[in-house]
Amino acid sequence: MKALSLLGSTGSIGCNVLAVVRQFPGQFRVVGLSAGRNVELLAAQVREFEPECIAVGEPALATNLAALLPARYHARIVTGMEGNCEVAALPSADMVVSAVVGSVGLLPALAAIRAGKDLGLANKETLVMAGRLIMAAVRTHGVRLLPIDSEHSAIFQALEAGRREDVARIILTASGGPFRTWNAEALAAAVPDQALAHPNWTMGRKISIDSATLMNKGLEVIEARWLFDVLPERIEVVVHPQSIVHSLVEYRDGSVVAQLGIPDMRIPIAYALSYPERLELALPSLSLAQCGGLAFEQPDHQRFPALKMAYEALAMGGVKPAVLNAANEVAVAAFLAGRIGFTQIAAVVATTLEATGQGDELDLEAILAADREARLVAEEAIGCA
């Protein structure tokens, strides 16, 4: 039985991880749970799975959580970043699943790797901020990093068809989000509820906005560069509105291998948890006949400049991808709060990228410092918007 620590248990991905665990009680057990602020749902998860260690975002929330749980759990509750890292490095865990959102995933991911844990990664920001550093740590500690993002899981599976040295390019698919057909004027007037209405996937608020701006795909390009050790010029993005083809790998002989499936996150989650085996999930089968046509188109960099900015940040190297990520997190939060318009998200990121300096991508302190500086610069840009 595989023992799991789950970071971000109350989010969309975290709940799907627990749904898979619930379906296969003889194969997995949960020894650690962490969440941000949703203590009511976390308390229910704790009562169901009985973990050894439980982390919440801050001490006040720990008090609230304790009030919802029997006394035997109170000594197991830890808080903050230290608490997340404790859950990630739990000695009894065989594998850690990082399903948190944003830059908060970096330090716990490092803690898990350094503790010798295999890592199931749904937190793309970890590799965006510190891809070279993370992959070096994976090699040093001899652990496996298994992708959970549907696109990276698809690539991971398609790479099983051939040798890495024969890969010509990786093709990431993007749904295009809810605004794929909107013109520039309509985009400028878009409001959060419209941006959150993803046509195919049920996701958290932040990732839904990133999907609408195509920044999510830009972050995935950076993630793929490090995860699969592929040069950026060999990573392409194509818009595929149906979200049936999850990504593709082209080999040098012209063969293109794709992974297809219904848009359900339990599929890549289960594959990461059980790799190299596959679990029988009892999900609906994909019916190509019912899908009808599958369409593909080039992304529009004029209406959705975030994707191009991600490529540029990757080309600049150093701490620039960390700057990109931090500025985007701040800008998305501002949009959701009604402080800026939809198209200003990319503008804030561009301003921050230009204003924030360089640093060593293998220096964790430099990466964290760049993250802090970028957030300040982005806030200033928002104030001037």
Domain spanning 2-147, CATH class: alpha beta
User: Nearest 5°: phi and psi at 142?
Assistant: 65, 35
Say if 2-147 and 152-263+285-384 have the same CATH topology.
no
Residue 230 near residue 158, CB atoms below 8 Å: no
Predicted local distance difference test score (pLDDT) of residue 148: 97
Q: Which residues of the chain have pLDDT under 70?
A: 385
346 close to 213: Cβ distance less than 8 angstroms: yes
Phi, psi angle pair for 28, to nearest 5°: -135, 150
Q: What is the pLDDT of residue 209?
A: 95
Give all strands of the β-sheet with 77-79 in edge-to-edge order.
Answer: 77-79, 53-56, 28-34, 2-7, 95-98, 118-121, 145-147
Q: What is the pLDDT of residue 272?
A: 98
The domain limits of the chain are: 2-147, 152-263+285-384
Residue ranges of E strands in the chain:
2-7, 28-34, 53-56, 77-79, 95-98, 118-121, 145-147, 167-174, 235-239, 245-251, 256-260
Please state the φ and ψ torsions of residue 112, each to the nearest 5 degrees: -65, -45
CATH number belonging to the domain at 152-263+285-384, selected among 3.40.50.80, 1.10.1740.10, 3.90.1170.50, 3.40.50.300: 1.10.1740.10
| Separation of alpha carbons 162 and 302, rounded Å | 36
Asked if 15 and 105 count as a contact pair (C-beta separation under 8 A), the reply is no
pTM for this entry:
0.94
Residue 385: the pLDDT is 64
